[in-house]
Amino acid sequence: MNKMIAGTTMVLAMAFSEFAHTAAAADGKPAAAMLTSMNSSIPASLLEACRKGLTGFDKNDRADMIAALDDNVVFEFSDSLPYGGTYNGKKEFLAFWKHVYKEYEYFNYDARDVLAAGDYIIIPVVARAKTKAGYSMENEHLFLFRVKDGKIVYGRIYADTARGRDVLEGHQPRKYPKLILD
């Protein structure tokens, strides 16, 4: 296993461990996104920019997060959807979002937490979207950003692309019953 993959795996494991301990509000709804830092020198202002950019569904304000992208940022999304692939540079990152919004009326996020660990920012989110054909979905995504010199140099979204493909193909997301093996 190369060093990058091993490091990413460790960061994701730490993120999910921390996420699993995030408390829910008294009404049973997820608590507001918290900023959590573990052995990280990532500036609080960058964590706040990510929180603002990915919290509140229709209130997402990505301006500060986009400003924090390195000019040569590399951004990846699974190519199992029409807007997937590897995007190089800030201009292509913005083109990715334009392509997403060609397919959807809206596509918004609500961060459950904003975690910093080492050089990484990990943001588990709830995604809500509605296609231009009228099909809606809600699912979980995870944003992973790598930071160098206070700028985001790498990003990737880990998402349930099967649900996205379902709504883009014109039907409600498929759900399967839990299989219990004896």
Query: CA distances (Å), 142 to each of 70, 179, 180, in order?
Result: 20, 25, 27
Q: Residue 58 maps to which CATH number?
A: 3.10.450.50
Q: Is 28 among the domain residues?
A: yes
Q: Give residue 39's pLDDT.
A: 74
Q: Is 43 among the domain residues?
A: yes
Q: Give residue 158's pLDDT.
A: 97
* pLDDT, averaged across the chain: 85
Q: Is 120 among the domain residues?
A: yes
Q: Is 173 among the domain residues?
A: no
Q: Is 125 among the domain residues?
A: yes
Q: Which domain holds residue 8?
A: 3-168
Q: 126: closest CA among 39, 24, 52, 57?
A: 57
At 99 the three-state DSSP class reads helix
Q: Is 119 among the domain residues?
A: yes
Q: 96: closest CA among 81, 110, 111?
A: 81
One-letter identity of residue 175 = K
pLDDT lower than 70: segments of the chain = 1-38
Domain count, the chain: 1
Give the pLDDT confidence of 89-116 residue by residue, as tens digits: 999 999 999 999 999 999 999 999 999 9
- Whether the model clears a pTM of 0.85, i.e. scores above it, the answer is no
CA angle 155, 67, 105 (to 5 degrees): 70
Q: Is 108 among the domain residues?
A: yes
Q: Is 179 among the domain residues?
A: no
CA separation for the pair 5, 88 (Å, rounded): 20
CA separation for the pair 173, 45 (Å, rounded): 37
Q: Give residue 7's pLDDT.
A: 53
